[in-house]
Amino acid sequence: ASVAATTHALPNVAAFVLGKKNDAIDASGLDAAVANDIQPIDDVRSTGEYRLHVARALVRQALDLA
C-alpha cells in the first residue's frame, strides 16, 4: 500500500482510537482519520483513490475491524 516515499506515523488515527475499545470505534471516523494522515498520489502503478482505500482497509485490519 505504498502511499508515500517513506514510512510515517498516523497521528490522527492514533488520536482517534486512543483509549477506545475496538467495538466503540466508528469506522467512518476512522476512515476520515486515515484520509487526514495520508495524501497518496496517482501514478502509473495505482491511483491515489485506490491507495487510500487500501490504506483504510489495512488500518481496519490492523485494529481487527475488517
Question: pLDDT, tens digit, for every residue of 12-39?
Answer: 999 999 999 999 999 999 999 999 999 9
The beta strand positions in the chain, using DSSP E, are none
In terms of Cβ atoms closer than 10 Å to its own Cβ (0-12, 13-18, 19+), residue 22 is exposed
* pTM: predicted TM-score of the whole model, two decimal places: 0.89
What's at 8, amino acid-wise? H
- The Cα 60–Cα 13 span in angstroms is 11
In terms of Cβ atoms closer than 10 Å to its own Cβ (0-12, 13-18, 19+), residue 4 is middle
User: Which of helix, strand or coil describes residue 38?
Assistant: coil
Identify the residue with better confidence: 1 or 52: 52
pLDDT of residue 4: 79
Percent above pLDDT 90 for the chain: 76
